[in-house]
Amino acid sequence: MRLWVISDLHLLKTKPLEFGSKLRIPKADICVLPGDICDDLEAGLQWVAAIIAEHMPVLFVPGNHDCFGRSLTGTVPEAQSIAAHCSGETHGRHPIHVLDNETLVIDGVRFIGSTLWSDFAILAPENADAETIEKCRNQALANMKGAMPEYQAVYVNEVFGNIIPKLMTPKDAYWLHLDSRRYLKEELSKPFDGTTVIVSHHAPHPGSISSFHGRNDLTPGFVSDLTDIIEGFKPGLWIHGHVHETFDYHVGDTRIYCHPKGTGNPNFSWQGGLIDIPSTSPAPTLRSAK
């Protein structure tokens, strides 16, 4: 199975389709898109449907920018509804699968998708005790609120009538991280005879800390350390986005891969991001509940 991995496209919502008309789409079996298509979820998914789903199925995991102007609880069902209305057989296109703490099996390959918001503890010293880790996390939580755009653009509740929506906080993101970590462990604990691919927006390992910026006060908003899950369950491949820098390295038996367009990644290519992984004969497509 050949995957085409692209992320962090950050398309201008006013002209995404015009931009897409200039692209040459490479040959692949599935496009894996781990988030941040556009600050407008509907415009972004319409672009994906018209430009990519014409050629191959798409597996999309929402990023922080895809949630802008929406609620944490509403983004995924809204994305699934938008995808259903602009992709799939009824539109003469391949499907767009939207995953957040959900699992999809395609041709014997298990894809586990999760936005995986940060745990904000990446700046804790190596081998730090629980008290030190919590102190570092609390400092990062305090730093993040005014520094990352999602805390001024994403809500924790739906807007109904006169109800005033509440903006998400870094603490909300941390609780979501814990929920995603629990889901990943539960899914990876289930026996599976085939290749497992984890797809997240946020980065799962300190090996994905930007070489341009290094460790700084913003790093906890981009990268967490899930070495325990990676080494404990040994998934074949972990694809992520968010960091706007290309990464390709191994943690034990697991390949960690990121191929973002970002806002100026010199190593990004629309013809790049191709990964071949083992698959079996076509198997039923299954979706597991959250």
Residue 201 belongs to domain spanning: 2-288
Distance CA 244, CA 142 (A): 24
CATH of the domain at 142: 3.60.21
Contacts of 44 (CB under 8 A, 6+ apart): 9, 11, 13, 16, 37, 38, 66
Residue with tokens 């755009």: 149
C-alpha 31: how far from chain center: 13
Residue 284: its pLDDT value, please?
46
- Kindly tell me if the per-residue pLDDT of 231 is higher than 60: yes
Per-residue pLDDT tens over the stretch 107-144: 999 999 999 999 999 999 988 999 999 999 999 999 99
What are the backbone dihedrals phi and psi of residue 237, each rounded to the nearest 5 degrees, phi first? -150, 140
Distance CA 137, CA 167 (A): 20
Distances (CA, A) of 94 to 57, 189, 288: 5, 31, 20
Q: Report DSSP state, residue 281.
A: S
- Kindly tell me if the per-residue pLDDT of 79 is higher than 60: yes
- Kindly tell me if the per-residue pLDDT of 20 is higher than 70: no
Structurally, the chain folds into a number of domains equal to: 1
Distance CA 40, CA 84 (A): 17
Give the least confident one: 64-68, 239-243, 278-282. Answer: 278-282
Per-residue pLDDT tens over the stretch 84-99: 999 988 888 999 999 9
C-alpha 285: how far from chain center: 20
Name residue 151's amino acid: Y
Cβ atoms within 10 Å, residue 167: 14
